[in-house]
Amino acid sequence: MSLGRLRELLSRSEPTLCGWSSLADPVVHEILLGGFDALILDGQHGLQGAADLREGCARAALLGKPAIVRVAPGDLALAGRAVDFGASGVILPMVDNADDARRFAKALRYMPGGMRSFGPTRAADLFKMAPRDYLAAADDAVLSFAMIETANAYADLDAILAVPELGGVFIGPSDLSMALGGGVLDPKGEATDRAIDDIAARGRAAGKAIAIYALDSADARRYAEMGCQLIGIASDVAILKAGCARLVAEFRG
């Protein structure tokens, strides 16, 4: 798989549907990679550590699909490690303003434009590139996604979108609903949808990639109609729980 595969997927007219992994199991990663266009490995709320993220990135590259890692808020050190592990993109949650977004985007770009330190220990091998070739290609290929899910980030959206090094925004409907709705969790609510539509439209106009998390396929379809290009859907945990509930309900009639 080429290092630029994620950008290629995002240049298509149809949205890129990503599996979402909370579980630190390589077989679960493999199953999600078999079913979806790409894999998001959640290192924020997910139950995986750096070694699991590393294995997930490797499995994705070896199976020919991009991996994107969500790190914990402010964890730029893990963001740098994730791209060294072979991630094609990184999601930073709880970005609160343009300065946060700029620092993050620069952490994924090499000098002189950025602050990424050189050492693609695993990435260069996984993409079958000489280190110098990886260096030449990485800044353009690797995507930084700043999450828009706080009231300040939404208020500062134009300044965040104006950060040239930033690849895209990733909308978090749950936190966004709480941020805009006085702490009430309402990811599928009308007011949340209006904000998502607005973020997607302004993001597209600014030329950024628009990504979002969807709880289910109905949400994913609605977000795609709003112009979201990359959609992480459900999670391995949610899929297992839904599958169990369905089988038990079918059995019991």
- In whole angstroms, the minimum distance from the beta carbon of 211 to Mg ion comes to 13
Q: 157 is written with which tokens?
A: 């959206």
AA letter at 146: A
Rg of the chain on CA atoms, in Å: 18
Given ligand 3PY, Mg ion, none, residue 173, with its beta carbon under 5 to 8 Å by kind, binds ligand 3PY
Which residue, 206 or 238, has its beta carbon nearer to ligand 3PY? Answer: 238
CA distances from 241 to 30, 61, 107, 193, 237 (A): 18, 28, 37, 26, 6
| Burial of residue 184 (number of CB atoms within 10 Å: 0-12, 13-18, 19+) | exposed
Q: Residue 168: in which H helix or E strand, if any? A: strand 168-171
Q: Is 29 a catalytic residue?
A: no
Which residue, 241 or 246, has its beta carbon nearer to ligand 3PY? Answer: 241
Which residue, 91 or 129, has its beta carbon nearer to ligand 3PY? Answer: 91
Give yes or no for residue 42 binding Mg ion (CB under 5 A): no
Which residue, 70 or 109, has its beta carbon nearer to ligand 3PY? Answer: 70
- In whole angstroms, the minimum distance from the beta carbon of 193 to Mg ion comes to 16
Interacting residue with Mg ion among 37, 75, 96, 175 (CB under 5 A): 175
Give yes or no for residue 172 binding Mg ion (CB under 5 A): yes
Active-site annotation holder among 45, 128, 194, 246: 45
- In whole angstroms, the minimum distance from the beta carbon of 94 to Mg ion comes to 7
Dihedral, CA of residue 227, residue 230, residue 235 and residue 240, to nearest 10: 80
At a CB cut-off of 8 Å and minimum separation 6, what does 214 contact?
Answer: 173, 220, 223, 231, 232, 233, 234
Q: Which residue is nearest to Mg ion (CB)?
A: 172
Binding site for ligand 3PY (CB under 6 A): 93, 149, 172-175, 187, 213
- Annotated catalytic residues are 45
Judged by the rule CB under 5 A, the positions of this chain that interact with Mg ion are 149, 172, 175
